[in-house]
Amino acid sequence: MFKPKPINNLKLSPFQEADLASFQIDCDPWIYRKLGAQKIGQAGNKLDWSFAVWAPAAQSVDLVIYPLYDPPLEFPLKKVGVSGVWQFSVGNLPVGTRYKFRLVASNGSSSLKADPYAQFSEGPPNNASILYDTGEFLWTDADWLNQRDQDWREKPISVYEVHLGSWRRKGVNYRQLADELCRYLVDMGFSHVEFLPLNEHPLVESWGYQCTGYYGPCHRYGSPHDLMYLVNHLHRHGIGVILDWVPAHFPKDEFSIGYFDGTHLYECAEEWKREHRDWGTWVFDYEKPQVQSFLMGSALAWLDRYHIDGLRVDAVASMLYLDYSRGNDWKPNKFGGNENLEAIDFIQKTNAAVRQHFPGVLMIAEESTAYPNVTEAQSGDSLGFHFKWNLGWMHDVLEFFECPVSQRPERFSQLLHCREYHYFENFLQVFSHDEVVHEKRSLLLKMGAGDDLAAKAADLRTLLVLFWGWAGKKTLFMGGEFGQVGEWAVNDVLQWHLLEDPLHEGIQCLVRKLNQLYVHELTTAQTDSQPEAFQWVDTSDSQGLTLSFLRWGRSEGETLLYAFNFGSEDCVREIAVPEYGEWSLEVDTESARFGGRALSNSLVYNAERKGDLDTQYSLNTQLSAHSAQIWRRKL
| Per-residue model confidence (pLDDT) at position 1 | 55
Distance between CA atoms of residues 302 and 212, nearest Å = 15
Fill in the DSSP letter of residue 116. T
Tell me, yes or no, if 314 is annotated catalytic: yes
Q: Answer yes or no: is pLDDT of 110 > 70.
A: yes
Mean model confidence pLDDT for the chain: 94
Q: Answer yes or no: is pLDDT of 614 > 60.
A: no
Look up residue 201 and give its amino acid.
H
- Cβ–Cβ under 8 Å, residues 565 and 623: yes
Residue 309 pLDDT grade (very low, low, confident, very high; cuts 50, 70, 90): very high
- Cβ–Cβ under 8 Å, residues 184 and 177: no
Q: List, for residues 480-521, the tens digit of each pLDDT value.
A: 999 999 999 999 999 999 999 999 999 999 999 999 999 999
Quick one: which of 160, 167, 246, 161 has its CA closest to 200? 246
| Per-residue model confidence (pLDDT) at position 46 | 77
| Per-residue model confidence (pLDDT) at position 612 | 57
Quick one: which of 201, 217, 204 has its CA closest to 249? 201
Distance between CA atoms of residues 225 and 121, nearest Å = 13
Tell me, yes or no, if 28 is annotated catalytic: no
Q: List, for residues 513-566, the tens digit of each pLDDT value.
A: 999 999 999 999 999 999 999 999 999 999 999 999 999 999 998 999 999 999
| Per-residue model confidence (pLDDT) at position 66 | 87
CB atoms < 10 A from the CB of 120, how many? 26
The domains of the chain are located at 5-132, 137-387, 530-633
Query: Strand 78-79 vs strand 559-565: parallel, antiparallel, or unpaired?
Result: unpaired
- Out of 203-207, 281-285, 472-476, pick the least confident: 203-207
- Out of 43-47, 53-57, 354-358, 462-466, pick the least confident: 43-47
620's enclosing H/E stretch is strand 617-623
Residue 605 pLDDT grade (very low, low, confident, very high; cuts 50, 70, 90): confident
Residues counted in the chain:
635
| Per-residue model confidence (pLDDT) at position 610 | 66
What topology does CATH give the domain 530-633? Answer: Immunoglobulin-like (2.60.40)
| Per-residue model confidence (pLDDT) at position 72 | 87
Q: What is the DSSP string of 588-610?
A: ETTBGGGTSSBS----EEEEEE-
Residue 258 pLDDT grade (very low, low, confident, very high; cuts 50, 70, 90): very high
| Per-residue model confidence (pLDDT) at position 600 | 55
Distance between CA atoms of residues 94 and 138, nearest Å = 20
Quick one: which of 421, 352, 424, 422 has its CA closest to 383? 352
Q: Answer yes or no: is pLDDT of 611 > 70.
A: no
| Per-residue model confidence (pLDDT) at position 408 | 98
Look up residue 467 and give its amino acid.
F
- Cβ–Cβ under 8 Å, residues 591 and 550: no
Residue 88 pLDDT grade (very low, low, confident, very high; cuts 50, 70, 90): very high
Q: List, for residues 367-404, the tens digit of each pLDDT value.
A: 999 999 999 988 889 999 999 999 999 999 999 999 99
Asked whether the bond before 217 is cis by omega within 30 degrees of 0, the reply is no
CB atoms < 10 A from the CB of 277, how many? 13
Architecture of the domain defined by 5-132: Sandwich (2.60)
Q: Quick check: do 5-132 and 530-633 share a fold?
A: yes
Q: Answer yes or no: is pLDDT of 613 > 80.
A: no
CB atoms < 10 A from the CB of 314, how many? 21
Q: Considering the candidates 48, 314, 376, 459, report the single residue annotated as catalytic.
A: 314
Q: Answer yes or no: is pLDDT of 169 > 90.
A: no
Residue 615 pLDDT grade (very low, low, confident, very high; cuts 50, 70, 90): low
Distance between CA atoms of residues 577 and 351, nearest Å = 42
Q: pLDDT over 90 for what percent of the chain?
A: 85
Distance between CA atoms of residues 213 and 231, nearest Å = 19
| Per-residue model confidence (pLDDT) at position 594 | 97
Look up residue 190 and give its amino acid.
F
Name the phi and psi angles at 613, rounded to 5: -100, 160
Prediction pTM value? 0.96
Q: Considering the candidates 261, 366, 376, 586, report the single residue annotated as catalytic.
A: 366
Report the Cα 36 to chain-centroid distance in Å.
26
CATH 3.20.20.80 fits domain 137-387: yes
Instruction: Tell me the H-state helices in 307-451.
Output: 316-320, 341-357, 391-402, 413-421, 443-446
Q: Answer yes or no: is pLDDT of 27 > 70.
A: yes
Q: List, for residues 124-138, the tens digit of each pLDDT value.
A: 999 999 999 998 899
Q: List, for residues 30-53, the tens digit of each pLDDT value.
A: 999 999 999 998 877 778 999 999
Report in angstroms the alpha-carbon separations of 601 from 507, 597, 622: 15, 11, 12
